[in-house]
């Protein structure tokens, strides 16, 4: 593994992070962060990421942050299908800070618009109960969850 440096410009200072420091986050080729104080995500793709995703897959993880929620999305493989759209496949999990856990076979996400959707079977659980559906859509970094197709919900009843 070569040492690939990513540079983030936040206000007037530059923070240097190496690939070795990012391996613990399961981010091997690029990292997207949305700072709550910024309106657009800070994107730091490497040149290797653009070429390597055409031929091979990598373990990928993304963190989407909004003022209301934080969503961590992890998949076994990641491929760029468009300039700003990533397709994550292979046991994709979405975890939010409020305890919601969603599992699907593959999802598509756009880190810039904070939109995530999946067209395959999905199941999950959270503070309100459990669910299964034929697909889902997650908007605004996890603020809204929309279930698609035939859905089965079991809501928790407060005592």
CA 92/CA 73 separation, integer angstroms: 7
> Residue 121: its pLDDT value, please?
94
> The pTM is what?
0.57
Full set of structural domains in the chain with CATH: 5-155 (2.60.450.10)
Tell me how far apart the alpha carbons of residues 31 and 69 are, in angstroms, rounded to a whole number: 19
Core vs surface per residue 116-154: b (16+ CB within 10 A) or e: bbbbeebebeeeeeebebebbebeebbeebebeeeeeee
10-residue stretch averages of pLDDT, the chain, 159 residues long: 32 32 34 35 37 42 66 83 83 86 90 85 90 87 80 83
Identify the pLDDT of residue 16: 34
What's the confidence (pLDDT) of residue 104?
93
């Amino acid at each position: 593994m070569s040492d690939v440096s990513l540079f983030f410009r936040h206000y007037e200072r530059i923070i240097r992070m190496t690939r070795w420091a990012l391996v613990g986050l399961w981010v091997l080729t690029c990292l997207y962060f949305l700072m709550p104080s910024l309106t657009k995500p800070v994107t730091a793709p490497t040149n290797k990421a653009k070429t390597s995703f055409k031929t091979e897959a990598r373990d990928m993880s993304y963190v989407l942050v909004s003022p209301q929620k934080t969503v961590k999305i992890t998949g076994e493989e990641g491929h760029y299908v468009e300039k700003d759209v990533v397709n994550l496949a292979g046991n994709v999990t979405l975890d939010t800070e409020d305890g919601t856990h969603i599992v699907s076979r593959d999802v598509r996400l756009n880190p810039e618009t904070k939109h995530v959707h999946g067209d395959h079977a999905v199941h999950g659980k959270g503070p309100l109960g459990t669910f299964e559906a034929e697909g889902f859509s997650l908007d605004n970094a996890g603020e809204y969850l929309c279930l698609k197709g035939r859905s089965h919900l079991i809501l928790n009843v407060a005592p």
